[in-house]
Each structure stands twice: as C-alpha cells, then as structure tokens.
Amino acid sequence: MYQFLFIAIISYIIGSIIKVANGSRRYSLEFAKGFLILLISGIYLHSGLSYLMASVGVLAGQSRPLFSKANGSSTEVVALGIMFFMSPAIGIVLLLIFVIFYMILKDYNRAVFAASLTIPVIAFKSFRSDSYIIISMIIFASLLIQFGLPFLEKKMKPKLLYDIGVGLGVLGFLILLYFNKYVYRGFGLQTDIIRHGTHHFKYVALTFDDGPDPVYTPEILDILKEKDVRATFFLVGKNVNSYPEIAKRIVEEGHSIGNHTYSHRSLIPLTAKSTYKEVKDAETAIDEATGVRPTLFRPPRGVYSNYVRGLLKEEGYTLVLWDLSAVDWAELAPKKIVTNVKNRVKPGSIILLHDSGDLITHRGGNRASTVKALPEIIDTLRAQGYEFVTVEQMIFITELMETEEHSHENNLSPAQAH
C-alpha cells in the first residue's frame, strides 16, 4: 500500500511545482502533465489503483499547490490529459463537446462546466474498469468545484467545497486504516471467525474471491489441476447464476466453495432484511448450480457486523477471513503478487486471491496477473516445504490440534501441569 501512497505524493508534488505562467505553452504542459503522470505511474506500478492515486495527486496539486499559489490553475487541461490517457477516443469526444458549447455559450468557464456534465454519462457507458470510472467521477467533482454551479457560487465559495472534499478524503483514509485493523485482527475475543489455521504445520490455504468468471476461473482451475492443488472459492451468487457450469466444475474437481453474498454488496450499511437476502440468495444459487450447500462465508471486503456474525451462526456458516492478501485486487504485476505472498506467508496462512471482481463491482476486473502469478506461487511455497489444503481441511486440522492439546493438558498430573 505504501507504493500507492508514494505515487499520490509524487504526483501531488509534480502537480504543484511544474507550472508555466500563461500562453499556449501552459496548456500544452498541463495537458502533458495529466497524460504523462499516469503513463509514468503505470510504468512504475501497472495497476488500476496506481492510476487512481496518480490522478488524485496531480489534480490536487494542480488545484491547491503546496509550493505556489493556485493562480488560474488549469485543472480542466490536466483532466483532459488524464482522459486522453484512459481513452484517446473519449478525450477527443470531450474536446469536441467543449468546442461546441464554447461556440454556443461564448464563455470559457461555462463551456467547461457544461462539457464536464457529460463526463459521468460517458464514463459509465464507456469504461469497464472501476478505477477508470472512479477517476472520471473525481475529474467531474474537481471541475464542479473549480467552475461551480451558479447557485453554489453565490452560497458557497469553491475553496470551502475543496476543504470539505479534503476533510472527507482524510476521514475516508482513517476509516480505511480502521477497517484494515478490523479485518486482519478484529477486536476482542472472536472465536467464531477464522483468519488462519494452526501454526504447527506448514499448511496454507489458497482462496479465490468474487468468481466464477468465464475467463479467469477456468484458467485458474487448469493450473490447480496441473499442480494437483485444492483451493477454496468464495462465490458471488450473481456470477454463479451467470456461469453455473463453471461453479459446478469447481466442485467436481475437488475444491471447496463458500458463500460471498449474492451481489457483492458491503454488509454493514444494509438492513437486516437485505443482509439476510444477500446470504440466502447466494446460497440458493450455489446449491442449485453445484448441488452443494456452502457452509463457509466470506463477507465482501472483509466487512462484517455483530448482526452478520449472529445470522451466520444461526444459518450454520463459518465466517472465514484471511491473514495474507496478495493484493492482486489492485491488478499488480505477477512478480509483485508472488513477492507479496512469499515474503509474508507463514504456517497456517489463509491467502486471499481473486478470480473475478473489481475495485467495487463483482465483475469486470483484470485478473490476468493473478493467473500468471499462480504457478510461481505454488512452486515457490512448495519449495519452502508448504502443502496446500482447503479452508475446510485447515479448520479440521486446527480443531484436531486444539482437541489434542486440551486432552493432553487434562491428562497432566498437578505436578506436571506446574
């Protein structure tokens, strides 16, 4: 995660200090700034999240620089450079839309504002990647703040809107840190949540979230079959309904399956009724496709509540999280995914990987890097003496060890116990 923060900081600094006073050179430089910062960030770390952090950094530096005054900063030109990087065709369309509005309105600011209103529609219609859609929405918000709606200009200064945005961003970052601790460690005694297995044996469990996917899941299954490895797949009900034959293949080839909700919605904001429906609809979809009722459950993004824990217990589920994320959800390079696993693995690790999903949605992400990294992950861990089990097998081994330890302690004499 520090790499993404580094990208954001460097992009902010570049957005702050590289400026030209006026003239055509200014617009050329600022267009190049938006385009090249994303290009360089992709070379450094090819990931949808790296593009997102680079965009946030350069736009923030351009509109509120740290080392100089924001003297007529052309955020819209930098934004156009970013849009051109993501899609030259969309960049040209937006430029043409601006020209048309400028010819009609005869006012630069109003033309930029009017053209910016088309960005959300174009983004949702054209981009499949969540990161590109989020970047487009950030650009839209930046232009809205800079150029302003007429009624907002009268009631609220753009600087105040910016300060509110920064405050919300900081709050969001603190919430992210909180949930990172919440997912990996939890608070208090949580014997009903599985984050890892026993540390006595060199067993690990590979888990894949968000599938099945018509492209990546079969490729992952082919690798697992070739390497003779059993894994655990946490399936999204909507995807199971779309690709039931792939879900069935997962079970037929000896892998474990778990419930990952029906539509991959975060559970904490949902009502009790909606939460129940997410769990049970996914259960029905998986049962109908595979003939197996899942007993493992993993909440989207690892976010759960006490209500969810109670519901899962009533429904006979075991709540399964992880202690090692490969961070493949960020679409990192294969070598980086392998390194993340190799450097942090330990006996009993439950390893989080993805065969579908995106930053937000339940499908649409690029999991080619995960597929390329998987054979090396398996070979590397085997060379270190690790064996692969399913989560169900890991839970059984852990419970067996705890039973034996408890039995041994009860059989000790008082003198031996001390």
Residue 279: give its domain's CATH number.
3.20.20.370
Residues 138 and 196 occupy one common structural domain: no
172, part of any domain: no
Residues 139 and 206 occupy one common structural domain: no
Number of domains in the chain: 2
16, part of any domain: yes
Domain end, chosen from 120, 148, 176, is at: 148
Q: Mark whether 130 is an active-site residue.
A: no
Residues 280 and 349 occupy one common structural domain: yes
Which of 354, 355, 358, 362 is catalytic? The answer is 354
Domain end, chosen from 148, 180, 201, is at: 148
Residues 91 and 198 occupy one common structural domain: no
What interhelical angle do 108-116 and 88-105 show, nearest 10? 140
Which of 209, 210, 213, 355 is catalytic? The answer is 209
417, part of any domain: no
Residues 199 and 124 occupy one common structural domain: no
Residues 36 and 119 occupy one common structural domain: yes
- For residue 202, count CB atoms less than 10 angstroms from its CB and return exposed for 0-12, middle for 13-18, buried for 19 or more: middle
Its domain, for residue 54, covers 2-148
Contact 300, 260 (CB under 8 A): yes
Residues 120 and 222 occupy one common structural domain: no
412, part of any domain: no
The span from the CA of 66 to the CA of 9, in Å, is: 11
Q: Which DSSP state fits 79?
A: H
> Would you write out the chain's pLDDT as a tens digit for each of its 418 residues?
567 888 888 888 888 876 655 556 778 888 988 999 999 988 888 777 888 889 988 888 887 766 555 444 578 899 999 999 999 999 999 999 999 999 998 988 889 988 999 999 998 888 877 788 889 998 988 888 777 655 455 544 555 555 555 555 555 555 555 555 555 555 444 567 899 998 888 999 999 999 999 999 999 999 999 999 999 999 999 999 999 999 999 999 999 999 999 999 888 878 889 999 999 999 999 999 999 999 999 999 888 888 899 999 999 999 999 999 999 988 888 999 999 999 999 999 999 999 998 777 777 788 999 999 999 999 999 999 999 999 999 998 887 776 655 555 555 555 454 4
* Cα radius of gyration (the chain): 25
Residues 106 and 216 occupy one common structural domain: no
Residues 116 and 208 occupy one common structural domain: no
Contact 60, 138 (CB under 8 A): no
Which parts of 184-332 are beta strand (E)? 193-194, 203-209, 232-235, 256-259, 296-297, 318-320, 324-325
The span from the CA of 343 to the CA of 377, in Å, is: 11
The span from the CA of 143 to the CA of 140, in Å, is: 5
* Phi, psi (rounded to 5 degrees) for 258: -135, 165
169, part of any domain: no
Residues 204 and 129 occupy one common structural domain: no
158, part of any domain: no
Q: Mark whether 46 is an active-site residue.
A: no
Domain end, chosen from 115, 148, 181, is at: 148
170, part of any domain: no
Residues 102 and 194 occupy one common structural domain: no
Alpha-carbon distances of 336 from 130, 239, 328, 339, 373, rounded to whole Å: 21, 28, 9, 5, 9
The span from the CA of 42 to the CA of 36, in Å, is: 10
171, part of any domain: no
Residues 228 and 295 occupy one common structural domain: yes
